[in-house]
A and B are shown apart, each in its own frame.
Chain A
Amino acid sequence: MGEGARRSYRFPILAAIALAAVGFLVFRSTSATSVYYLTVSELLAQGEAAGDEQVRVAGKVVPGTIQRTAETLTFTASDGTGDVNVTYGGVVPDIFKDNVEVVLEGSYGTDKIFRADTLLAKCPSKFESDPNSMAGSTGP
């Protein structure tokens, strides 16, 4: 009967672990902010109220604003109505360039500069064939 007895409490324990994991994920996704990211205009509307809090903001990279120095990268992100200047010192995704939509995690300071700790690129919602390549050619 030993095997049966062990099974009888192993099941509730494992069920509790699975439920706890699901609960944690739901909490994790809803508690931090009600939206995954703010638009640039929403960030500007919050202004300094955001303070040193970590926020996520999404906008398009304004063409011609990307400037690289030895340590940092600066550019302007825009959602069409509002613009924000961004500094970032980490690794950028492969597709980072003018007009790409980026999601930034960081804080918006009183100097009106957004200091990003993380820079993610949003997936484009369309695919286009590369005019510079033959179908299936090798390369990046």
Chain B
Amino acid sequence: MADTSAIPAPVGLPRTAPTSGLFEKLTTVLGVLTLVAMAVATYLALVYAPRDALTGQVQRIFYFHVPAAWVGFLAFFVVFVASIGYLWRRTTAWDAVARSSAEIGLLFTTIMLVTGSIWGKPVWGTWWSWDPKLTTSLILWFIYLGYLMLRAYAPTREQGARYAAVLGIVGFVDVPIVYLATTWWRTLHPEAVITPEGAAMDPRMLLAFLVSLGAFTLLYGYLMLRRVRIERLQERVEALEDDAAYTREVPARG
């Protein structure tokens, strides 16, 4: 057999640096912080915060529903920024961030829709209604489901990244619409509970809410670090597979 070691590898393949010990350590620290924050938030939400006078215990879903919605919005904002970055620089790092953030955002949007539905049944009297906030939220969910489908079915990784970046920029338009739906239109949702004038809730409820918001944000950060790392490793595996295929094919051609 021909000696293949002399054949140079194709140029331009992504070469991810091996994990630095420091990066792994920081990720672990963030993971532990997240775990502690989630535990404290759960305690505050389920035990410390007082029961709501009108709707009772079911109001506690608020401490999970709103932070889940916030993480969804944050994640899609990151997709928006990373998509611009990708179209501008065309580097796979931007693309890895956009894809990872879209997946996490879709997960938290799903949590928002499911917890909202569970909350809606006892309080509103229905699992679902076509009010503007719910409808635009469901559209948001479909946009990022479409985003991931676009990537999965695009002919090449590069094309998928390019199409998805466009959708990641255009699709973000729906985020402020969902957020402002209660201000613009009549809906079943209350108007902002927390306004610049203050929060219309017991201070203990506010504390539980803010801690939960922080914990969810940390969880997003931790999941992002892990997911982006997996994405980069995936790219590396694909590059190595291409390398191997190239090395196998060349002697046959020659």
Contacts and interface: CB of A to CB of B under 8 A. Distances in A.
Interface residues of B, number: 51
B93 interface: no
B204 interface: yes
B188 A127 contact: no
Given A93-B123, A129-B202, A136 B47 contact: yes
A113 interface: no
B130 interface: yes
Given A14-B149, A35-B186, A93 B50 contact: no
Interface string A1-28: 0001001101100110011011001101
B12 interface: no
B53 A129 contact: yes
Contact of A94 (B55, B135, B138): B55
B51 A36 contact: no
Contacts of B204: 129, 135
Given A36-B131, A36-B187, A123-B123, A129 B52 contact: yes
Contact of B53 (A21, A22, A29, A128): A128
B154 interface: yes
Given A29-B132, A127-B200, A58 B191 contact: no
Highest count of chain A CB atoms <10 Å: which of B125, B139, B142, B201: B125
Contact of A14 (B122, B132, B153): B153
Given A14-B153, A36-B185, A119-B125, A125 B191 contact: yes
B202 A120 contact: no
B180 interface: no
A27 B143 CA distance: 16
A128 B201 contact: yes
Given A129-B204, A140-B57, A135 B125 contact: no
A95 B26 CA distance: 47
Contacts of A8: 155
Interface of B: 46-59, 62, 122-126, 129-132, 135-136, 138-139, 142-143, 145-146, 149-150, 153-155, 185-193, 200-202, 204-205
30 contacts: A4-B155, A7-B153, A10-B153, A15-B146, A19-B146, A22-B139, A22-B142, A36-B130, A91-B125, A96-B125, A118-B126, A119-B125, A120-B124, A121-B124, A123-B188, A124-B55, A126-B190, A127-B52, A127-B200, A128-B202, A129-B52, A129-B204, A130-B51, A130-B52, A130-B56, A131-B53, A133-B51, A135-B49, A135-B50, A136-B47
